[in-house]
Structure 1
Amino acid sequence: MKFTVKKISLFASIFSLSWVLMSVNATEQTSSNGDTTNKTNQALSKVQLQIVEQEKSIKQTSNKRSSLENQLRNDDISIAKIVKAMIKTQDDFQDTEQTLKELAQEKITLTHKKQQQEKVLAQQLRAAYTSGHHDYIKLLLNQQSPASVERTVTYYKYLNDARIKEIDQFQIVLSDLLAVTTQHQEQAKKLNTIKQQQAEQKIVFQNTKQERKNTIRALNKELLGSKQLLAQLVAEEQNLVVALQRIAALAQQSTELVGLKKLKRKLSWPVKGKISHSFGSRKQGYLKWKGILLAAPVGKQVKAIHNGTVLFSDWLKGYGLVTVLDHGAGYMSLYGYNQALLKSVGDRVETGEPIALVGQSGGQSQSGLYFEIRSDGQAVNPKAWFK
């Protein structure tokens, strides 16, 4: 049961009403009935007003907390979208940069080829100018036989065809060089645009992160006492149980996957990091950790421990952005507190395939991965499965 400051104040108001009524009864022996009735009515009205005000205040607090939780969810989802957009932008940047390098190299090759062809054409033009057209006619007239004339004509035709071919190739090189130069300029513009997008995305990312910090700070103010925090954690754990029950019902439809039973001490960790909280250790009050918390930097890849199907990929109160994989035979693995989810419901994933990025969603103060393994809906110690 939640005992907030405002509820305690409400109980105090009711207690004060009882005390007033007792006091009034005690004075009835020495006061007139009219005075007693007036005092009683006044005291009753006062306490009733206090009760109404306290109930209104409690409702406002509850609404405020609910609003802050929704805001936290929106902040986490916004950050996830921005991060995925930044990843895509970075991929585009690398692709464009590689294209620019290839175009630059092609431009160098074509320029060199153009220079060589210019030299060949220049030599041919000088040779043609030196020999002159009249020498060609004289050479024909000096031939003593038709066969000699035919050979001379063929020779000059060959030279002329060779020049025409060189000119055609030169024009092709010029055309290719122009096209490559244009592409290079376009890719350079694209690269500048991508750089601008990256700068804008970073600004939005930082602003959203700050909004998230403010939301968490406001939420923490609402959770004043350890009893409130315990109640909050109990509610969050119950939400997870309900969600996993729904997911387990869907998982029963899969018959292809064989589970994790035979894979103990054979799997790799979903992310490398120090264990901050172990399975079964005290969480808050009587609550214990149903999984493990691995400390890891924001943005690090979270990998599937084994092949499976994505059953859940969404935000869950208390656990942030969560991915749940079905491994068959009643086995599931859960990955929480993520910065971004890389897979959607229904996707098939292979062992070691990236499925998320480490984060601190769900209101966490430190980055890391919350990880669970469940067998037939019951949480089991994940450490038993890893090398």
Structure 2
Amino acid sequence: MNMRRLMLPELFRGVALVLVLASTTAALMPATAMAVNEKTAKAHKPTVKKKTVHKKPAQKKSTVNKVKVIPKKSTSMGAAQKDLANVQSQIRASEKRIQLTREQRAQKETELKEVETEITELRGSVDEVQGSVQVRERKLQKLRVERSERLADRERHVIQIKSDLRLAQRQGGDDHYKLLLNQEDPQSLSRLMKYYGYVQQARSARVIALNETVARLEAIEKEEQSELAELKTLQGQLQTKQSKLARAQDTRNKAIRVLSARIESEEDRITRLKRDQQNLQAVMNRLERVAREAAEREARRQQQEQEKRARDAALAQGKPAPTPTTPSKPMPEKAWSSVPDYRPQPYNGKCALPADGGIRSRFGTARAGGLRWNGIVIAAAPGSPVRAVRPGKVAYADYLRGYGYLIIVDHGRGLMSLYGQNDKLLKSAGDSVGGNEVIASVGSDDASEAAGLYFEIRHRGRPSDPAAWCSFK
């Protein structure tokens, strides 16, 4: 009994404790669920409309919808990557087009050079045929003059022979025999016989001359016909070659227009101009080096000759030969372009321009792309002669891209003159030329800024104003 009394209170206390724990758990569960729902709602707040959800099922459904937003972000990233790939593909395609355009432009430049060469050859052929035509025309003119003279001779001989015949007819056929038989003096008879012989010889000579004149006239007529046929053939060849030349020039002009159209931007134009200037500068540097080496060789030769004369003089006087001069170490190569310039007094105003025409572009003035002219452009007529401004030696004569057919004359003392945009060169490298001597002919005119003759002066490798050397307004 006592044990039961003791266990009952303990049992009641245990049951009460269980009830308290159960009620506490039931109270805590709704709060915990609400806290979890609030955290989930905050985590997905940017993608969910502002709306308070109190029911658990609705809250769970909202959570599922929020999770499905993530794939939409992934899809947008993929579209951006695709756009970027498209842009890169377009860039590569543009680069390919630019490269193709440059290759086509290079091909056109090569074709242009070939056409220019063909035009030069055709011009030479046309000049040759024209020379032959002129020779034939001069010969034909001489034949016509000779024919006129022969006709006059024939007319004169005919008149004389007619006069002789009329005289003989008046005298009768045997009058001269009667005249001879009536002479009793032998000396008179002999003298009359001689006179009559002279008369007969003169008459025979006139007949022979008449026959020769007639034969020569027949020969002249045949020769004239032959020359006329040859002249007609040459004129046909000339027309054919002139037609070919016109077609070649038309092809050249079309190639120039296509080539100009391919230059799509100012940057390409600047690059081309700078490249042309670099090409010209490379040629000038090479010519400068050759001229400098030639000057050094000439100086060494003169020094050796001077030492030889000194040794010969010493040996002739019985003195010991002087010690040869030790050749000095070569100075480090220094381009003329880095040497200070000097005033061009020896040449100032003593030469004329190489071609007739106004100044289209002046030295130092601006040109396309912010560059400046290193020479002048003379608006000379196509085909007009180009003359050397001073005596000198041709250092370069060839086609150079950007300058057409270019000829460079070395005048010594570091002075060179350049003549560009020609269509025919009359001198070759190594030829000596005199002042005012024709060395080329001006190229065909076009719409470019360099149309005409390009003239440049280089002094010690550097461009110099032609106005300081030649007289022009």
TM-score, scaled to structure 1: 0.79
User: What does residue 151 of structure 2 align with?
Assistant: 111
In structure 1, distance between residues paired with 2:159 and 2:414? 76
Does the 8 Å contact 2:445/2:452 carry over to 1? no
Report the AA paired with residue 113 of structure 2: R
How is 1:173-212 mapped onto 2 (pairs within 5 angstroms)?
173-212=213-252
Distance 1:223 1:337 in 2: 20
Give the corresponding residue for 1:351. Answer: 435
Deviates more, 1:233-242 or 1:176-185: 176-185
Give distance in 2, aligned partners of 1:59 and 1:321. Answer: 28
The change in CA–CA distance for 1:93 and 1:365 in structure 2 (over 3 A counts) is farther
Which amino acid in 1 is paired with 2:119? I
Deviation at residue 261 of structure 1 after TM alignment: 5.8
Aligned equivalents of 2:433, 2:82: Cα separation in 1 = 70
Tell me the distance in 1 between the aligned counterparts of 2:90 and 2:258: 26
CA contact (8 A) 2:270 2:368 kept: yes
Partner of residue 308, structure 1: 392
Max radius of gyration: which structure?
2
> 1:33-44 residue pairs with structure 2 within 5 A?
none
The alignment-based identity, stated in percent, is: 32
**Distance (whole Å) between structure 2 residues aligned to residue 360 and residue 227 of structure 1:** 27
Does the C-alpha gap of structure 1 residues 366 and 45 become closer, same or farther in structure 2, counting only changes over 3 Å? closer
Q: Deviations over 1:328-359 (max 9, x none)?
A: 12211000111222222222221111212222
SS at match of 2:382: coil
2 CA distance for matches of 1:238 and 1:184? 59
Partners of 1:248 and 1:78 in 2: CA distance: 31
Q: Which residue pairs with 2:178 in the alignment?
A: 138
- 1:26 corresponds to: none
User: Equivalent residue for 1:339?
Assistant: 423
Equivalent residue runs for 1:1-387 within 5 Å? 57-252=97-292, 262-360=346-444, 364=448, 367-387=451-471
Deviation at 1:364, TM superposition (A): 4.1
Aligned residue pairs total: 355
What is the CA–CA distance in structure 1 between the aligned matches of 2:392 and 2:100, rounded to whole Å?
A: 44
3-state SS in 2 of match to 1:314: strand
Structure-2 separation of matches of 1:310 and 1:149: 84
Which amino acid in 2 is paired with 1:189?
A
Offset, 1:296: 1.9
SS of the aligned residue for 2:252 comes to helix
Contact 1:358-1:368 at 8 Å conserved across structures: yes
Q: Highest relative contact order (Cα 8 Å, sep 6+), 1 or 2? A: 1
Q: Greater shift after overlay, 266-275 or 243-252?
A: 243-252
- State the Cα deviation string for residues 214-262 of structure 1 (Å, max 9, x = none): 2112212321111111111111111111122223334457679xxx761
Q: 1:59 to 1:228 in 2, by over 3 A?
A: closer
Distance 1:240 1:360, change over 3 A: farther
SS where residue 285 of structure 1 aligns? Answer: helix
Q: Distance in 2 between matches of 1:355 and 1:363?
A: 25
C-alpha spacing 1:330/1:179, structure 2 compared with 1 (3 Å):
farther
How far apart, CA to CA, are the structure 2 residues paired with 1:242 and 1:382?
21
Shift of 1:142: 2.7
1:255-306 deviation digits (Å, cap 9, x = unpaired): 79xxx76111111111122222211122233422111111122112111111
For residue 216 of structure 1, what is the amino acid of its counterpart?
I
Cα 1:136–1:79 change in 2 (3 A) is: same
What secondary structure does 1:334 align onto? Answer: strand
For the aligned residue pairs, the C-alpha RMSD in angstroms reads: 3.4
CA contact (8 A) 1:372 1:380 kept: yes
